[in-house]
Structure 1
């Protein structure tokens, strides 16, 4: 049982690192985009990786909570709330992309600014939660 927890924990950490890496790439794509058609192609490809790694984070997190008999610590609660916040921001960003590409209800530059803002917030949430969980695990006895 302990081996499963350790394996799940390492997969969880690597998934979070990969998610941060994908977010940094997405922020760079938002920042340095010239052609909007190429930009949307790149973002749609990166969204697949983003969703896959976010799903891996959720899956490994639930496995770790199940192994620990659903013990809800403050660090776990903050991680759960942060993944809901990240999912909400991703849904909003995806809806905005649909408004731009299909319905042209939003200008392309406004979407790029909005996407950049949402991706930056997601990155800040991930880094803050990672720092808090490290601090909480160092202080736990």
Structure 2
């Protein structure tokens, strides 16, 4: 049982680290993008990866909580809240891009970039803060 719990924690940590990499990749991809059409095509590839990683992290976290007999701690609640906030931020970022009429207007992609950088910055800060807190 201890080996399964340890493996689950390793999968959970690996998922968090890969998600941090995907968020950083999204930031770089957004910074280098000049055309909205090319960016939206690339984002349609990366978005399911982000969503799958968030789901992996939430799933492995819930399995770890079940292994601890659903013992809620402040850290567990913080991780759940951060997971929900990340889902909301990803949905807002996608919804903002999905509005074609706003994006195809002059200067709308720059406005989208500012919003997306803000969303991605919040995601990166939350992941980093929670990861550092869990390692301490």
**TM-score tier (shorter):** over 0.9
Shifted more, 112-121 versus 62-71: the winner is 112-121
Moved more, 82-91 or 106-115: 106-115
Q: TM-score, normalised by structure 1?
A: 0.89
Partner of 1:31: 31
For structure 2, the residue ranges without an aligned partner over 5 or more in a row are none
CA positional deviation for 1:21: 0.4
After the TM superposition, which parts of structure 1 deviate over 2 Å for at least 4 consecutive aligned residues? none
Between the aligned partners of 1:55 and 1:17, the Cα distance in structure 2 is: 14
Q: Distance between the aligned counterparts of 1:46 and 1:13, measured in 2? A: 20
TM-score by length of 2: 0.92
Root-mean-square deviation (CA), in Å? 1.1
Q: Tell me what 1:139 maps to.
A: none
Superposed CA offset, 1:3-44 (max 9, x none):
221111000000001000000000001111112211111111
Tell me if the contact between 2:51 and 2:87 (Cα under 8 Å) persists in the aligned partners: no
Output one character per residue of 1:86-130: Cα deviation in whole Å (capped at 9) or x when no partner.
Answer: 11111111111111x3xx135222112111110111011000011
Contact in 1 for aligned 2:27/2:120 (Cα 8 Å)? yes
Alignment of 1:45-84 (within 5 A): 45-84=45-84
